[in-house]
Amino acid sequence: MEKFLTEVKKLGKLKVIEEPLDVNLEIPHIAYIEVKKEDSKVLLFKNPVDKKENKKFNIPVVMNIFANFEITNFIFGKHPDKIAKEIQELLEPKTPNSLKEKINTLLTFSKLRKIFPKRTKKRGICQQIIYTKEEIDLDNLPILKTWPKDAGKFITTGQVYTKSLDGKKYNLGLYRIQKLSKNKLIMHWQIHKDGAHFFHEYKKANKKMPVSIAIGGDPLYYWCGQAPLPNGIFELLLYGFIRKENPVLVKSITNDIYVPYDVDIVIEGYVDPNEFAIEGPFGDHTGYYTPPEEFPVLTVTAITMKNNPYFTATVVGKPPLEDKYMGWATERIFLPLLKTTTPDLIDYHMPENGCFHNLLIAKISPRYKGHSKQIMHALWGVGQMSFLKHAVFVNQNAPDLTDYENLARYILNRITEKSFLVTEGIVDQLDHASYEPLVGGKLGIDATGKPVEKTVKTLADGELLGKIQSLDKDILELKQYFTDTANPITVIKVKKTKPVKEIFNKLKQLKEFLKIVIFVDDYMNDLNNPYMLVWRVTNNIDALYDVWIEEIWGVDATSKSKLDGYTRKWPEDTHCDKNVIESLINRGIIDMDKNFLMKYQIVEEANDKVDQDN
């Protein structure tokens, strides 16, 4: 980590903040705002404090490690597409014909010996300082409280190392971890994750599960923790492949878990299969608070660290955030592996404002009728892709997948009633829109066909609003998008007093002017902000209940309640604390205007002080 910070500083991409700042909200709020900027930087907070506890920490905090595309390339040592090409060459080796080609092939495969972790019997750099027994005190680590309504402080970049009960499988996962006390943590192992699978093995055998949590070290360790590798493949193999050097592991002091020797901090312990605690709420990467739920408790048996360590953290919430750049690297590197199950896949992209698992756009080479829907089913059955909620498919002639405006036109000019596939499957445990936890609707859209004719008439927004308001008084505003296409989109804001389907049914009377109608409610929805509308809509719909392909096509992206037959508790948005933001602005620590606050919905509403100052 120290080497990384030195190099990033040389690149002019490190922002060092000397002023004492609070681990409760202040530090994460600064990081949250910084990473949304065009040229965001890695942040080093030299003097973290806990104002509530009147405590100073002697460990600096590093945030926004993956701050932008340039730094992400630097971390990998090359563009992720080059790594993908190397994977592709291994998956599809060519028969060498010349002596030179034979030598190159031998060199390529000889490099594979570098991917396997090596264990050292020496003490690791991460074990220069050791705390055990009564010395253990998690309060000495600058663990952050990210959001005002979080249940407490959470470790957010903890590399969680575990192994199967029989010791044959190893796993590195990236999970949030709540601090419960000086020597207790709560492990947020979602039910579909490998860490949870291992835990259930130990629970069935009624044995304590060893766990070691590493913090810091090479930033690539951190990325590997979220890499969507198949079950049973140790994520550090990917580290070795990318770095072209064997990762060196050291045995933990109080358990038999091995961790990278050069991380900054290690928290060792065990999970008792019979000890659980309520974890959460926590403002997660969906931009919503996930509700409190019972998860296993880890008892800490040792804390080790290097001399002069760094504590790393990230902040998750409404996009764009650090996971934008981590996710970009992931989608580029894993394209060849995805092609092994869907060989006619050309490329794919998961926009960060679709929270990745909420939206995928794929370019394919369709060979026959129904091919795109075959690929939809294939993707929904592959690893972490099984959590994907919405997928749109275009053919090889479509614009670049990140050219959103032209791509949207291309899609809207090619879809008919037959383009839609609605099915059911597993969804992410953090998904709140599904009417049943863990299981919900999935929507596939086939836009690989030929252009279709426009059949609806176009009216100005004001004229159309008058017509639809005459049908229902709960309609507040509307904005039309892509009226030049065959299937224009009308986004309608409603004051919700009844199920939206009732309004939708009335609007069928105006089908000569409407094709795709998307409903949002009147809370924090700006109809002129398509970036955040995509975030809201893809988060808030369960295709089984909220998508209607009838005379017109409707999407209900409003918040749900018993009014809709939804019996779960709908979560709250994550918002920065307005008083903290105001204080940081007044002290000159952050600089932003009202438009920036509103664009990314940073606070629930821009208060008078912020308005006056900017």
Active-site residue set = 284
Using DSSP bridges, classify how beta strands 547-549 and 390-395 pair: parallel, antiparallel or unpaired: unpaired
**Residues 125-155, buried b or exposed e (16+ Cβ, 10 A)?**
bbbeebbeeeebebebbbbbbbbbebbebbb
> Of 563, 564, 517, which Cα lies nearest the Cα of 542?
564
Beta bridge partners of 154: 144, 178
Beta bridge partners of 162: 171
Half-sphere exposure of 140 (CA within 13 A, CB side): 12
Residue 463 amino acid letter: E
The angle formed by the CA atoms of residues 587, 589 and 593, to the nearest 5 degrees, is 95
- Peptide bond before 20: cis, by omega within 30 degrees of 0? no
Both tokens of 273, joined, read 């299969």
Residue 529 amino acid letter: N
29 vs 498: CA distance, rounded Å: 37
Q: Which residues contact 191 (CB under 8 A, 6 or more apart)?
A: 429, 438
412 vs 398: CA distance, rounded Å: 12
Indicate the SS3 state at residue 416: coil
Residue 139: enclosing H or E segment and its boundaries?
A: none
199 vs 429: CA distance, rounded Å: 17
> Of 133, 219, 227, 146, which Cα lies nearest the Cα of 182?
133
608 vs 500: CA distance, rounded Å: 34
Both tokens of 309, joined, read 């360590």
